[in-house]
């Protein structure tokens, strides 16, 4: 019995293809073999063989984002000093030390 194959055309960003090709080559694989491995694993698990879910930010990240928003509001209202670059910040810090 002949081993029948089919062609699948997939559009991916050029940089993704380049990086994936490099990775697979380092693993001793070519793109076709890697994609076949993915498809066979998907059939084995009867689904995507890795977790696919919406990003869920951690409580720490949410807290940091809220803090950042508050800092911006404080700077805009004049409650806190802001800087346009690191040099300004360090100059201000060094003035405080004198």
Q: What is the pLDDT of residues 22-66, one digit of tens each?
A: 999 999 999 999 999 999 999 999 999 998 888 888 999 999 999
Cβ 24 vs Cβ 30: under 8 Å: yes
Q: Which residues contact 52 (CB under 8 A, 6 or more apart)?
A: none
What are the sequence ranges of the domains in the chain? 14-45, 59-97
Q: What is the pLDDT of residues 71-97, one digit of tens each?
A: 999 999 999 988 889 999 999 889 876
Q: Which residues contact 79 (CB under 8 A, 6 or more apart)?
A: none
What's residue 1's pLDDT? 59
| Cα(57)–Cα(64) distance, integer angstroms | 11
What's residue 2's pLDDT? 66
What's residue 55's pLDDT? 82
What's residue 47's pLDDT? 96
* Banded pLDDT at 18 (limits 50, 70, 90): very high
Phi–psi pair at 26, nearest 5 degrees:
-65, -25
pLDDT average, residue stretch 15-21 = 96
| Cα(77)–Cα(87) distance, integer angstroms | 23
Burial tier of 49 (Cβ tally within 10 Å: 0-12, 13-18, 19+): middle
């Amino acid at each position: 019995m002949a081993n029948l194959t089919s062609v699948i055309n997939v559009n991916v960003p050029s940089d993704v293809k380049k990086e994936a090709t490099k990775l697979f080559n380092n693993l001793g694989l070519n793109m076709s073999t890697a994609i076949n491995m993915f498809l066979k694993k998907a059939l084995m698990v009867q689904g995507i063989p890795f977790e696919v879910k919406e990003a869920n930010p951690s409580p720490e990240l949410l807290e940091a984002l809220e803090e950042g928003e508050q800092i911006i509001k404080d700077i805009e209202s004049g409650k806190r000093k802001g800087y346009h670059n690191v040099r300004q910040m360090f100059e201000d810090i060094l003035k405080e030390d004198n």
